[in-house]
Amino acid sequence: MQASINLRCPSCGTLNRVPADRAGDAGRCGQCHAALPRAGGSPVDVTDADFGRTVEGSALPVMVEFWSPSCGHCLRMDPVLKDLARELSGRAVVAKLDITKNPASAMRYEIRGTPAFVVVKGGREAGRFVGSMPREDLYNRLRPYI
């Protein structure tokens, strides 16, 4: 079975299943035919509504950053996450969840501070790290799960 990831259409909100090895290619939504975001180019935004399918249902390991728009450390991590999303395309998914808009997932994973990074592999939490850190440190902590 080929690994796949779910990408949310920015126009209609439909989840689209995309083969992991094609996640960086341009694609179209199966529902409204709008252009899909390239998973390899930037982190995937997830919500409470699609967390189970997008993160826990992924065949690839997923690192989710639980973040808040009022958190300066979270905002400083944004370029790091974009870089990791590009580098790990096809091997892992980098996702972001805004805890101010999606408190249920944050409560379920007992997030106490931001930024918090949770690695989900095979539908279960496999690792967790908290706090802002340089790109190399974050990559080295993530590497055992890929």
Tens of pLDDT along the chain (146 residues) come to 567 777 777 667 788 888 776 766 667 889 988 777 665 567 889 999 989 988 998 878 899 999 999 999 999 999 999 999 888 877 788 999 999 999 999 999 999 999 999 999 999 999 999 999 999 999 999 999 98
> For position 13, what pLDDT does the model report?
72
Based on the residue annotation, tell me whether 71 is a catalytic residue of this protein: yes
User: C-alpha angle with apex 71: 67 to 76, nearest 5 degrees?
Assistant: 85
> What is the residue extent of each domain of the chain?
40-145
What is the value of pTM for the model shown? 0.76
Sign of CA dihedral 118, 86, 1, 5: positive
**Catalytic pick among 9, 12, 32, 74:** 74
> Can 12 be counted among the known catalytic residues?
no
CATH assignment of 40-145? 3.40.30.10
Indicate which residue of 9, 12, 29, 71 is catalytic: 71
Give per-residue pLDDT as tens, 75-102: 999 999 999 988 887 778 899 999 999 9
